[in-house]
Amino acid sequence: MQLFGENATEMGLSPIPKEEIHNLMNRVVELISNQFIRGCTIEINSVTKAKISVSSKGKINIERAQAIKYKLEA
């Protein structure tokens, strides 16, 4: 999982160090590849989401979304 493991720093992202999350994501990939599910979104924390899905061509896509919000009050 290049987007979430130690290699995430190469893309300017912080790694997600929790092994349980990596195990869950690997299990989701396994369920998708065995055609039990078509996709899954995992909200890791208030900022990071992982979306794992299968394309129309049968390839498994893994996305990482970072939602950073800034708010100013006057």
| pLDDT, tens digit, 9 for 90 and up, residues 62-74 | 999 998 777 788 7
* Residue 10 scores a pLDDT above 80: yes
Task: Indicate the pTM of the whole model.
Answer: 0.82
Task: Note the pLDDT of residue 73.
Answer: 85
* Residue 1 scores a pLDDT above 60: no
The mean pLDDT of 36-46, rounded to a whole number, is 96
Tell me the sheet residues that pair with 60. Answer: 54
CA distances from 4 to 46, 50, 63, 64 (A): 15, 9, 10, 8
Task: Note the pLDDT of residue 68.
Answer: 76
The domain limits of the chain are: 6-66
What are 27's two structure tokens? 């299990």
DSSP structure string for 6-68? GGGGGGT------HHHHHHHHHHHHHHHTTS-SEEEEE-SSSEEEEEEE-TTS-EEEEEEE--
